[in-house]
């Protein structure tokens, strides 16, 4: 596994149409310009999204929270996830955050609609699997989507599929719940025969199916992109959503006057609900930052 594994980026340069963006119609964020951007995941996988956000907006401050004491979220109930999102939203707002990025496909699928209705004036950014660009990219009309069980089973994902893949398009979609992947990545158990077997359990059906585009529907999965590509072959396109999420966040902040006026590089405060030396080492590896200050968040 490598944290620099190449993943095909979705188009992160094409201009966005502000009129098509629901969040663009929200209230001005000018009074929160100097506030940080909150980034949340069930574990360390969301650091793949944070890296895109930080690279695109280096002058912004960030707060990254990993709820790794409760990872994985894929086997949690929707009610539990929604309540956890409320707890985290209240905490992020108490820190003065101007935006909250749910860098977790599972949390987005389970609770994004609920949390937006509960906090209508807060700028939330959620993730969804990159099915639409996958449909545009596939050559043989076979797409595979890898995610947690909760994402695959969610009504939000099913609605995404229904509105994206037309019945008469001929596109076939294989959705696979990769139980155990996120937890293995978070805990560093991504080597040895047990990991090889766990990879094969979910990738062999993809290989047999013959998908030429594979959507990484969990923010943990870009960190094992090399392993996935080695199993499926170099010609398979891997898609994740980190780059377009960063572009979207930047665009909405610009439209709503929420960008920082600072010229110096921003700072990132890192929190986890469970911290030990192994977590610190993996955090440094995934974030590609030489020195990490990591604090425990008791929530």
**Catalytic residue IDs:** 104, 218
CB-based contact 109:154 (threshold 8 Å) = yes
DSSP string, 157-192: HHHHHHHHS-GGG--EEEEEE-TTHHHHHHHT--SH
Other Cβ atoms closer than 10 A to 190: 18
Taking the C-alpha atoms of residue 289 and residue 98, their distance in angstroms, rounded to an integer, is 24
DSSP 8-state secondary structure symbol assigned to residue 43:
S
**223 sits in which H/E element:** none
CB-based contact 10:230 (threshold 8 Å) = no
Q: How far is CA 75 from CA 8, 87, 112, 154, in A?
A: 28, 19, 17, 12
**198 sits in which H/E element:** helix 192-209
């Amino acid at each position: 596994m490598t944290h620099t594994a190449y993943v095909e980026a979705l188009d992160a340069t094409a201009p966005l149409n502000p009129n098509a963006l629901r969040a663009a119609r929200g209230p001005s964020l000018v009074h929160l310009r100097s506030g940080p951007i909150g980034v949340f995941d069930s574990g360390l996988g969301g650091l793949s999204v944070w890296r895109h956000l930080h690279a695109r907006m280096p002058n912004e401050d960030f707060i990254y929270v990993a709820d790794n004491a409760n990872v994985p979220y894929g086997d949690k109930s929707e009610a539990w996830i929604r309540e956890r999102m409320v707890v985290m939203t209240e905490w992020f707002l108490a820190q003065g955050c101007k935006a909250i990025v749910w860098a977790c496909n599972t949390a987005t699928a389970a609770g994004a609609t609920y949390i937006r209705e509960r906090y209508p004036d807060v700028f939330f950014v959620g993730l969804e699997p990159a099915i639409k660009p996958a449909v545009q990219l596939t050559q043989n009309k076979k797409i595979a989507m890898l995610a947690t069980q909760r994402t695959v089973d969610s009504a939000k994902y099913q609605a995404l599929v229904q509105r994206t893949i037309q019945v008469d398009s001929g596109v076939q979609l294989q959705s696979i719940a990769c139980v155990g992947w996120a937890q293995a990545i978070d805990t560093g158990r991504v080597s040895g025969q047990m990991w090889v077997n766990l990879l094969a359990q979910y990738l062999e059906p993809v290989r047999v199916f013959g998908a030429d585009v594979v959507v990484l529907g969990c923010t943990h999965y870009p960190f094992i992109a090399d392993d996935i590509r080695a199993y499926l072959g170099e010609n398979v396109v891997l898609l994740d959503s980190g780059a377009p999420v960063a572009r979207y966040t930047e665009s909405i902040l610009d439209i709503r006057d929420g960008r920082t006026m600072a010229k110096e590089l921003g700072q990132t405060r890192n929190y986890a609900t469970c911290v030990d030396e192994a977590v610190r080492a993996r955090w440094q590896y995934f974030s590609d930052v030489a020195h990490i200050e990591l604090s425990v968040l008791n929530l």
